[in-house]
Structures are given as C-alpha cells and as structure tokens.
Structure 1
Amino acid sequence: MLKPRPTTTRELVNLDGLWRFAVADADVREPWTGTLETQLEAPVPASYNDLFTDQKIRDHVGWVWYQRTVRVPRGWAGERVLLRLDAATHEGKVYVDDVLVARHVGGYTPFEADITDHVTPGGEFRLTVGVNNELTSETIPPGSITATRDGRRQQTYLHDFYNYAGLARSVWLYSKPRRHISDITIVTGVIGQTGIVDYSVTASHETGVRVCAIDAAGHEVATAHGSSGTLAIDSVNLWQPGAAYLYDLVVELVEGNEVIDSYTEPFGVRTLEVRGTEFLINGKPFYFTGFGKHEDTAVRGKGHDNAYLVHDFQLLDWVGANSFRTSHYPYAEEVLEFADRHGIVVVDETAAVGLNLGVQGGLTGIGPKPTFSPETFNHETQAAHAQHLREVIARDKNHPSVVMWSIANEPASNEEGAREFFEPLVKLARELDPTRPLTYAAVMFATFQNDKIADLFDVLSINRYYGWYVFTGDLATAEQYLEADLRGWVEAFGKPVMMSEYGADTMPGQHSVWDMPWSEEYQQSYLTMNHRVFDRIDAFIGEHVWNFADFQTSNGIHRVDGNRKGIFTRDRKPKAAAHTLRARWTGLAGTKPSANQTAAPDNEKTTTSSVHALEGAK
C-alpha cells in the first residue's frame, strides 16, 4: 500500500483536527446511523485516554466513535476517491454516511477504503470512525478481558506500557486516477562505484511503465521502461548512517505520450549483510548505539506529534545515538521518513509483544499455563501475527533507514511450542523481504541453553537486567553473570549479539553516594558496568538502552507514574545518565569501542554454566 502523496496526478486532503467523540453505549442507537449526539471533541491524531477528566473514558473497554463532516474537492470528478487511516488502535470501522466501507484489525498499520461510489465531488459526507481497544488471545499484541462483580469490563495485557487507544495517527482523503500505480518495491545494491536499483511496479491495469531516478539536486541519473527492471546509477551517493543521501524514483504509467498516473518514492542506495559475527552496512562493520523508544508523550499518549519528532531526533544526535528500535510496534511512517532523511538506523519491530505467559509467574518465569497451546496462543494468534508481519513489511520495505526486522519482543522462546509458532513466521518474513536480517528480542527467561528459536535468526538481540531485576544493587555480581550470559550466546550460536534492552529505573533528583537503586548515580554505574562487559566481547555489535524516555504503563505497585528507566524524563529532560552515554557514544560514528583489556580478578570470574541459576529471572 503506497502512502498518499501529492503528485502531478494525485491530490490529498489532511483530515486531522478536532472530531466529535463519544464512548459507545449499548443503551443508545449505533452512532453511525446519524450525527453523534455528544458535547465531547477529540483531537486527531491523539490517543483519547488522557484527554478527559472522566475516569470512565480512560478505563473504557470497547468501542469509541469519532465523527466529522468532509467535503470532497470538486476537481476530483472522474478520479478514484479514497480514505486512508494511518492507524486505528486496535481495530477500526469506517462509515461514509451510513455505509460501512472498511474494517481493519491491528492497531499500528494503515488501511484504506475506496469510497468513489459513495461520495460526490464537490459534495459533503459524514465520516464516522469506530475504534476498539480490545485485546484478546487472537490479536497482536494479545490480551484478555474480564468482568468485575459490578459488571465493568477490564482489559489485561502482557506488555509493560499503557494500552493507549484511538486515532493516534493521521487520516487522509486522497484521489488517484482510475488506472493507477498500486505498489512499488525497491531493492538496492552496489557494484564498485555504481548503484544498482532493482524495482518492481504493480498497477491496476496493464499499460506502459516508465521510471527514472532523480538525485538530490534534481538531475535525472538513470531511466528504464517496464513494470520491473534495473537502474544503474554511476558514481552513486550511498545512504549511510549519519550521512543520509536520498534519491527519488519517479514512476509513471504511460499510454502513448500521455501520463496516466505518477508517483514518487524516495529511496537510498545501501547494502546490508551479516557476515560471521559482524553486521555490515555498505560493507563496513556497524556498531549500534541508541535506545528502545516508545511513542509516548503526556496528554496525547501515542498520538504522533511532529514537534516531539524533531526534538527526539535532536536528543538522539546530542547523546551520540545512531539508531533505535521501534519497541514494541511499528511507529508512524513520518518517523521512518525522518530517519531516512537524517541517517538514523532503525530496527523495525512488529507489535508482537506479550507472547509470554511466563511473565505471570513473576521471577519464576513459570506461567500458570503454557504460552503456546490450543487454549492459549495458537493458530489463530499465529495467523494474526503473520498478517501483521505482512502489513509491516509492505509498509516499510522501501525505507533505507530500516536495516533489520524484529518479529517479536520477549516471546516465550524457551517454552515448548515456540519453534512451531515462530519457524513459519521466520520463513514468511524471509519470503516477504529476503534483503534484511531478522532478529527478535530474547527475554531473561530464555538462555542460550534453553532457547528454541535463536538459530533461525541472523542477529541475537538480548534483553537483560542484571543489576536491576536480579542482583539488585550488586553490580559486581551482576557484571559476572552478564558476561557469562552474553559469552554463552556467542559460543552457542556464533552470531552477532547486541543488547536490545538494559536499564534501571531512576527517579530524577534522587541522589546517593552509594550504589542505591533508583538514584541517578546508580543508573550511571549500572550503564558503565554493562559497557565494560560489552567491550570485552568481540562478537558484540550494539547497545540499545531501555529506554529513551520515561513512559506511561498500566496500574502497578512497582511503577510510580510509569516506567522510569528513561535516560530522559517523559518531558525530555536529561538525567545524569544522559551525560554518561554522551561521553561514551559521541565520536564512535558506528564503530565498536576499543576492547577493555583488563581481565576480571580470578574471584570475579564465572563460567557460562552459572547462567543456569538465572533461568526465569527478570
């Protein structure tokens, strides 16, 4: 699905703004049969949960409704007219007047509806969008719904971030010709100084196709004809981390001398390879520095905000980060486009977080039920995961900033049934995109001795919290176990290893002269301990701190107004650890830090077998 863009043959209207808003009530008629009778208004894009003072709205489980009036430009006569929603979390239904025109399950990928036959150019229509926040064992991410004694519905879920819902991304009305370009796929390579651009164009009708590559100065540098083919760009400018260079691929459908449709897709020329224990971009080893992030800000929740987009990337640059993971769902397309333009590397993750019932068992890692079974996460769950994977890769496949797909966060990869669940998904991901490496983020319960899926992937991303959830406050012991753990993965699988999560909750302003958990000094010491270990492991390729900024979570006595592992506060003020990271990362430019040659004293050394003691610790 191509993102709507204005071109010589296409126009679009942004429908963001204030919409009428109502919570579904079973005692009143369905709202799509007329005007919503409500005094509430909600902004789009934004999550609705934190907007209102009414606790019932924040805690509501089920459908809410957005509505506004839309006028179709009168110049669109003879064109196809479409509605596109960049996301509806987690299920959306779209009505044009009283007609259902689209329904989509999945809260972080776009969907659209052709409404040509339901509207009139120059006329108005009533647009109503229903959004359902329910999570079940057959959704990605999963969850469950229970009822209280007084009849209230409550949502539970297995991920540690707040279940914000609503229209958190933009809504568009756009036009395209009746005969049009439907999809474009771009794959790049390099031979010597020549950029190789393989392209494939899908169109609604069979007709002539003309493509050309335009450089950043607006010059045509290569042309071709046909629905698929190869362009060669001499003296190519590569897209590189920290030094982005983008070309435009202009695709035209032609009939004789007439251009029927035109679409422009930005792209960058770069190569990716995993070779031995190295991750290569453009043939050079790359070392990841950065964060797991969240789409999370006060009041707007997961609502996309361009001001925060710019400021967050400024902070990434200031701290010396070269990359981030879209934990734990694909972010708004504007984020990836910004990363494309500014040379930030992205690990693009699906919304498959919470496929692990072991977390219900606390530190034992033993859940009340097996994670993978006909009664828990099953073929229906797997099918939802596969569909989400298709939609993420279809949306993000042409972004040069995206260098790796992460297909799940902290699944129960140590449990029986994990391989049967994930092996078909890995195969599907490789069929959809054979050009990018695959990874997943391994939970603390999964060790190199018991993990059942690690061999299927190209890069091993490890989430570990030695010194926080285990050996809390004892960084000396934590260092021993961390090194044994990481070396065990390297020795067992011979693949590149990176830390996809490590961090410690920190209250800004909490200080101590000792290694006291929750203090700013402890967060600094914790990070420094991890970095010593990383620098001693040759196969180690990167460090993503958890988390970029504090973020909101569900209710829990172990959280004080959300997760406090941020290096920045929720309003983006730096904690002391931000300066620690800046001192380490600034100037690395994607290269691995020099190895620390200082050996641990004999009484601090440990063997990889010692990690057995931590199986199930989190």
Structure 2
Amino acid sequence: MTRLEFTINTHWEFLPEDNPTFAKPIYSGPLNQVSVPHTVREVPHHNFSEEEYSFISWYRKSLHIPDKARGQRIHLQFDGVMLAAEVFLDGKKLCEHKGGFTPFTVDLTDHVKVGQEHLLAVRVDSRERTDIPPYGHLVDYMTFGGIYRDVHLRILDPLHIENVFFKTSKVLTETPLAEVEVTVKNPTGLSETVDVEAHLLDASGVQVAATSAQMFVEGEATQTLTFENLQNIQLWDTEHPHLYTLRVRIKGGDTLDTRVGFRESEFRADGFFYLNGRKLILRGMNRHQTYPYIGAAAPKRLQEKDADLVRFDLGCNVVRTSHYPQSPHFLNRCDEIGLLVFTEMQGWQHIGDQAWQDLSLNLLHDLVVRDRNHPSIILWGARVNESPDHTAFYTRTNRLVQDLDPTRQTGGVRCFFGSEQLEDVYTMNDFATKLTKYPAERYLVTEYGGHMFPTKSFDQEPRVVAHALKHADIMNQIGALNISGGIAWCAFDYNTHATFGSGDRICYHGVMDIFRQPKFAAHLYASQQPPEQKQVLFAATYWTRGDVDEGLINPVWIFSNLDRVEVYVSGKFEGEAQRATELYPHLPYPPFKISNISGGWGENFGDLELRGYLNGALVKTHQLAADGIPRKLIFEADDPEIHADGADLTRLSLKITDGYGNALPFAWGPVSLDVEGPAVLVGEHPLILPGGQGAVYLRSTLIPGEVTITARAPGLPTQTVQVKTLDVGLKPVLEAVLNA
C-alpha cells in the first residue's frame, strides 16, 4: 500500500509535573487537554525566569491502530521536543532522545496490536541540562519546553523508502543533470530485488522527466537514479523560486514525495556569492524561533509569517537560523518565497566533553539529512556559534557535513579574527564600529549591530534614529569591502537569560520588537529593496520637539526607495529632501535627509507630510500629526481564518496612533480585550503597549465557529475584529484516513 502520513497533534493530555503513573491507565489525577505545538508554560512577554519552564512534564494520548494497518510498519515522528524526551507505550519505555531542535522517530511496529487501543506517553525534560547542547555554559537565548513541533504517524510497507537526496549539476547548461540518491529499508530479514522509479513533476503536476533502476535490498540499500536530457528546466532563484515535486516510488509499493529545486549556489574565491552564475550581494537577518508568551511553540502559520516578514517587510534575501535547526514550516516557506538560508548546528560559544561532542555530531547529522533537499539552503554551519577553535571536533563536523551533502559549502561562525578555518567560507560575527575585511577568499559577515546598540521601540527619538543609521553605516561598509554580504543581528527582539538583555529578560537587538512590529531600522531595511517589489516612504521621527536635544528636529531622516521626496509642514512646501549619498555611497538606496525645516521654537508647529515620487509620478505619502494626541486604536488580526485544531494561532496587533495611523511611542494604553466564540487569548490582557504598539495571540479550540474580539482603550473608540475558526475534521483521524 502507499504510505499514509498525517499529524496527530490533537487530543493530548498534559501534566505539568513528573509523575510516572501518568504513562499508565491507572493514573487518576487531573487532566489538561492540549494540542501541539505546545509549551509547558505560557509566560509574560518579559520579566520572567527560565525556572518557570525548566521542569519535567508529561504528555499522553490514546492511539488506536485499525485492522488496515496489519502487516505494515508503524512509525511515530516527533519534529521537536525540548530538551529531552522519553517515549512510553502502555507504560513501557521505548526510547530516549536528547536534543530539542531535530526530529526523532520511534518504531512502534513490534509494540502495538492492530484493533486495540494503546496509551502513548512522553516524559519531557525541559531543564537546561549541561549534557545536551546548547547548554553547558551561558546561553544568550531561551529554549522553553514541551512538544513544541508537530507529531506525525506513518503507516509504511515493510519494504519502504527511508529517505531521498536530490542533487543537481550543470544547471546553467543546456543539459542539466539531477541525481536522486534513494535509500530503501527492508527490515523483514529477507533479501529482495525491487524496481524503483523517480518522477519529476512541475508546479502544475505535469511530469517533465522519469527514470528507474533495480535495487537489491537486504536490510538497507542505497541506489542513485539519474535524470538525463532534462529540457526547459526552470531554475530556483530569489525572484522566481520555481519548485518541482520529486516522486520516488517502489513499483507496486511505497511512494515518497519531496519538493526540490534546480539552482547553483557558490561562494567563490573572488569573495562574492553567486546564485545561478549571477553575483548576489547577501543582505539578511538572524532569526530566533521564539515568540512572546508561547516560547518556541509556534504553529505553521506563525513560522511562515516570520519568513514573509524577513523577505517582504524587511526586504532581505537571506536569513540565518541562529543558532540551531528551525521549523520545517519556516524552511518550506523560505523555499516558496526565494529566501536564502544559512542554517547551523545547535549551540552557543560552548564546547562540552566527548559525550557532548558525540551527541552534537548525531544532531548535526539529523539536521543535514532532514534539510538537504531545501533549495533555499546555501550554507551549512559546521561550528558552534562563537566557540573557540577545536581542531579535532570541527574536523569531524566538516567531514560529516561534506559526506552527507557534497553539493553545499560549509561555514563556521566565529567572533575573533585569526580563528582556524576548517570550513569553506570564513563566516564572522564582526561587531566593530569599523569593519575589517579578513584575508580569506570566501568571507561573510554573519552578525553586526545587535548588542552594540540595543534599542527599544519606546526609546527616545535620537536613539531609535541612531539605531537605524548604525545599521545603514554597517551595510554601507559591507558594500565598500567588496565581500559576499552581511547578516544583521537581528530580525526580532527575543527573550534571554539574566546574564544578557536589558534586565527584563529581553534582548532589544532586533530591528523589529518581540511582537514582530517595526522599529525605525525595519523601515531602513525595507527601503533597500527595489520599488518594483515594495514602495517605501518613512519619516524617521516622532515629530515632537520635546523628545530631541534643544527641541530642534534637525535633520529629519527619511527612508525611501523612491526617486524624489518633497517635504511639507502645515501644508507649506519646505523643500526636497536630499539623498545622503556622500555618507552611504554603497547602499542601494541611501536615506534622504532635510535640515532646518519649520518647527523651531516660536514657529507654527504643524503636521509633517512627505510626498514620494517615482518616475515623475506621486506614488506615496507619509504624514505625521504634530499634536501627539491619541486619535485611533488600530486593532488587526493577521488572518481572517484559522484552523480549529486547538493549536493554531493568529497575531492580534494593537496600536494607539495619531490621526494618520502612526504609533505614538508614549501612548501605552492600557487596552482591555474580550473574546466571544470558540477561541482563547494568549498573552497579557489588559495589555500595556510599549512604544504605543503590542500584540497578543488568538488560539483556536477544537470547535469551529465565529470569533469576535473586542479591544477597548480609555478615550478611544472601541474596536472589534472577527476571526473564523475552520473545521479540520478531527473525528477519529487515524480511522478515517486508513479507511478512506
């Protein structure tokens, strides 16, 4: 039969304590029904300790295996359990897994009986154990806890496809090649010769190529199939991310579909990065996978939204998954939207003992095998971020990666010059005010900015402006160095340990805040993309005299990718802003600035208006009110519909604004929130809005229906949004799928 694979994310029971009887039917204590992704404890967006989630907890659910599964292999895959997991069936321990960022599989075949009900239980250890990476020393991020990614059940033929690896070559010629490395498992103890087919389907499902071969399988075997004479292949790149489906089939048996792409990526000896033979300057962001309130337990929808924010809102072409493997949903979205990825092994500055290193190698193996078919991935991180040199360990990591995937280069992020280079690309966190071009043939700046100038969205105007201009300066320096590019630290503010951050367990290093709402620097990055992709016009000012030294707003910086910007105050034309090309000659679109405009002491202080022109036409305006009085409460849901699976979330964003919709940085609320319908709020409510903006999440229940959320702020009109939770058919899912 064809394999059956589906998620089993609903109808879990959760116990936030260590009680082994929870793994057995005799348990008679309290029960909390949850869906995964799930965090062991929701927390405030700041001012909390890792002790709140660092404990042992249990999950369990009933598992019924219908008669149709008789004679098949039954596998259970956990995409991520933080930080260690023990899996039990009917009270019997089946396995233990250490490491929270990579998947692991449990073979249930010999432990279940078809037609019977079994009790599946998972003991989750969310403590910061020093024997498991990234821990062992200080770590500048939190890992939270729980079954925080999807759980899958697979029903397979005994003879089945274990994995495939799609490798392309000569993609820039008229005769591109693709090889498919197919690994087949046969646990029956018998040898068998099978026919294996590979089909390549385009985005519309039309077959464009096929190939086949015979395999002799005893236990496990690997065979390479080759697609030759490929015609009219469309390449995957950042602007046109063409994807294909690779369908591998054992004739008369198992089938596995994998999404793939054709592209050539290379960091060359001239110092630059090339995608499909075209030089591409990398401009990107580091990204932590954590969110306010829910830690890392974000569903598919939020993972995809983060990729969209980096690609479209910030206008970047690369993201670094700092400092660990991240969600498959995030990487899938990067494939879809043309966002390049530098992904790396888990860890932060610390290298442990031999057992720690051996575990790191195993987890790195799982990362590469999981992700090597993603066309978006261009570089493997084979070194623990900012760790000291360790020749023996990093010789092993690089050899492992190159054996598993000879088609991509390796990097190893360090934070000191002169570090030994065992990787293909010298990747460097350079936080100096003046960047240095290290004498390596292949060089990439992997962090800059960040902790050197932490900035809150509610800081005084001069600091949030200076924060943006520091990013502009470093981007300009990267352009002047003639290197492959740079990846900023970082996209979003994130929770951290007491040793780091600003005293409230947040590192305010992002160009967006922890709620994914923009600081001034976010508009700077957005303005560096061509206007054909997104037109940007933003005045980097609060337009309040009393928040700047001497009460003089001079100059006003403007971030825009338009041709020309006119400036008006109280409707009066003040002049054209000028690009600061002399300061930032290596930026695609240097910021504009205008000096000595109206608004000084004793002058009429009216509204500010920018008018932006492209190709001679007025295409965009930006206005700011001078009075600073809250006029609007803007309340929006990111999504009009979510799934009624008990885990899906959409962000509810709130802003207190002037009359033109600009967040007022010192209008903090509070805002009270009420929900009517089958959903619950996740977050603090009443909600205080730091910097005049903030967010909570709306989580579905298992009941479909209409949800109305009402927001109230003193002195402002009440606002409501509606979200529909959609039926996803949760009745005995396993039975329904197997009997379909």
Both structures adopt the same fold (TM-score exceeding 0.5): yes
Q: What residue number does 1:400 align with?
A: 375
CA contact (8 A) 2:56 2:123 kept: yes
Residue pairs, 1:315-330, within 5 angstroms: 315-316=309-310, 317-330=312-325
- CA 412–200 in structure 1, closer or farther in 2 if over 3 Å, else same: closer
Tell me by how many angstroms 1:137 deviates: 4.4
Tell me by how many angstroms 1:74 deviates: 4.2
The one-letter code matched in structure 1 to 2:235 is: L
Residues 412-467 of structure 1, C-alpha deviation per residue, up to 9 Å, x if partnerless?
Answer: 33x5xx22332222222212211111112212xx123xx1x2x212222222333x
Tell me by how many angstroms 1:210 deviates: 1.2
Distance in 1 of aligned mates of 2:132 and 2:206? 47
Tell me by how many angstroms 1:494 deviates: 2.7
Identity among equivalent positions (%) equals 23
- CA 135–261 in structure 1, closer or farther in 2 if over 3 Å, else same: same
Q: What residue number does 2:166 align with?
A: 186
CA contact (8 A) 1:194 1:235 kept: no
Residue pairs, 1:100-119, within 5 angstroms: 100-119=93-112
SS at match of 1:117: helix
CA contact (8 A) 1:61 1:134 kept: yes
CA contact (8 A) 2:444 2:486 kept: no
State whether structure 2 residue 299 is matched by structure 1 residue 305. Answer: yes
Of the three residues 360, 382, 387, the one matched with 1:385 is: 360
Tell me by how many angstroms 1:330 deviates: 0.6
Residue pairs, 1:133-152, within 5 angstroms: 133-143=126-136
- CA 187–588 in structure 1, closer or farther in 2 if over 3 Å, else same: farther
Residues 210-242 of structure 1, C-alpha deviation per residue, up to 9 Å, x if partnerless?
Answer: 111111222221111123221032121011123
Q: Write 1 or 2 for the structure with the bigger share of helix.
A: 1
Residues 297-333 of structure 1, C-alpha deviation per residue, up to 9 Å, x if partnerless?
Answer: 1222101322322332332212211110111111111
Of the three residues 25, 34, 40, the one matched with 1:34 is: 25
SS at match of 1:197: strand
Q: What residue number does 2:346 align with?
A: 351
Unaligned stretches of 5+ in structure 2?
187-192, 214-222, 534-560, 562-580, 586-740
CA contact (8 A) 1:42 1:48 kept: no
Residue pairs, 1:122-521, within 5 angstroms: 122-143=115-136, 157-189=137-169, 190=171, 192-205=173-186, 206-226=193-213, 227-232=223-228, 233-254=230-251, 259-276=252-269, 277-316=271-310, 317-355=312-350, 377-413=352-388, 418-443=390-415, 446-448=416-418, 451=419, 453=420, 455-466=421-432, 478=433, 482-483=434-435, 486-487=436-437, 489=438, 491=439, 493-503=440-450, 504-513=453-462, 519-521=463-465
**Of 193-202 and 504-513, the range deviating more from structure 2:** 504-513
State whether structure 2 residue 36 is matched by structure 1 residue 44. Answer: yes
Of the three residues 57, 66, 75, the one matched with 1:64 is: 57
- CA 35–337 in structure 1, closer or farther in 2 if over 3 Å, else same: farther
Of the three residues 71, 75, 99, the one matched with 1:78 is: 71
CA contact (8 A) 2:348 2:385 kept: yes
Residue pairs, 1:519-534, within 5 angstroms: 519-534=463-478
CA contact (8 A) 1:91 1:107 kept: yes
SS at match of 1:234: coil
CA contact (8 A) 2:49 2:497 kept: no
- CA 60–304 in structure 1, closer or farther in 2 if over 3 Å, else same: closer
Tell me by how many angstroms 1:551 deviates: 1.2
State the structure with more CA Rg: 2
CA contact (8 A) 2:37 2:297 kept: yes
The one-letter code matched in structure 2 to 1:239 is: W
CA contact (8 A) 2:431 2:447 kept: no
The one-letter code matched in structure 2 to 1:311 is: K
SS at match of 1:289: strand
Q: What residue number does 1:605 align with?
A: none
Tell me by how many angstroms 1:51 deviates: 5.8
Tell me by how many angstroms 1:77 deviates: 2.6
Distance in 1 of aligned mates of 2:503 and 2:414? 23
CA contact (8 A) 2:381 2:412 kept: yes
CA contact (8 A) 1:319 1:586 kept: no
Distance in 1 of aligned mates of 2:377 and 2:225? 23
Of the three residues 531, 552, 555, the one matched with 2:495 is: 552
The one-letter code matched in structure 2 to 1:50 is: E
CA contact (8 A) 2:307 2:330 kept: no
Distance in 2 of aligned mates of 1:552 and 1:505? 13
Distance in 2 of aligned mates of 1:41 and 1:301? 19
Residues 4-31 of structure 1, C-alpha deviation per residue, up to 9 Å, x if partnerless?
Answer: xxxx702234221352222444xx5543
The one-letter code matched in structure 2 to 1:337 is: N
The one-letter code matched in structure 1 to 2:316 is: A
- CA 597–231 in structure 1, closer or farther in 2 if over 3 Å, else same: farther
Distance in 1 of aligned mates of 2:62 and 2:484? 51
The one-letter code matched in structure 1 to 2:205 is: G
Tell me by how many angstroms 1:57 deviates: 9.6
Q: What residue number does 2:2 align with?
A: 9
Tell me by how many angstroms 1:142 deviates: 2.3
Q: What residue number does 1:516 align with?
A: none
The one-letter code matched in structure 1 to 2:148 is: A
Q: What residue number does 2:523 align with?
A: 579
CA contact (8 A) 2:323 2:346 kept: yes
The one-letter code matched in structure 2 to 1:544 is: I
The one-letter code matched in structure 2 to 1:459 is: V
The one-letter code matched in structure 2 to 1:219 is: V
CA contact (8 A) 2:2 2:157 kept: yes
The one-letter code matched in structure 1 to 2:441 is: G
Tell me by how many angstroms 1:41 deviates: 4.2
Q: What residue number does 1:361 align with?
A: none
Root-mean-square deviation (CA), in Å?
2.7
Tell me by how many angstroms 1:47 deviates: 2.2
Tell me by how many angstroms 1:378 deviates: 2.7
SS at match of 1:581: helix
Higher relative contact order, chain-length normalized (CA < 8 Å, sep 6+): 1
| TM-score calculated relative to the size of structure 1 | 0.78
Distance in 2 of aligned mates of 1:78 and 1:567? 54
CA contact (8 A) 2:304 2:329 kept: no
Residues 174-195 of structure 1, C-alpha deviation per residue, up to 9 Å, x if partnerless?
Answer: 2111111111111112251333
SS at match of 2:100: coil
Residues 548-582 of structure 1, C-alpha deviation per residue, up to 9 Å, x if partnerless?
Answer: 11111123474434111111111111111111111
- CA 523–35 in structure 1, closer or farther in 2 if over 3 Å, else same: farther
The one-letter code matched in structure 2 to 1:183 is: N
SS at match of 1:382: helix
The one-letter code matched in structure 2 to 1:237 is: Q
Residues 573-597 of structure 1, C-alpha deviation per residue, up to 9 Å, x if partnerless?
Answer: 11111111111244699xxx9xx88
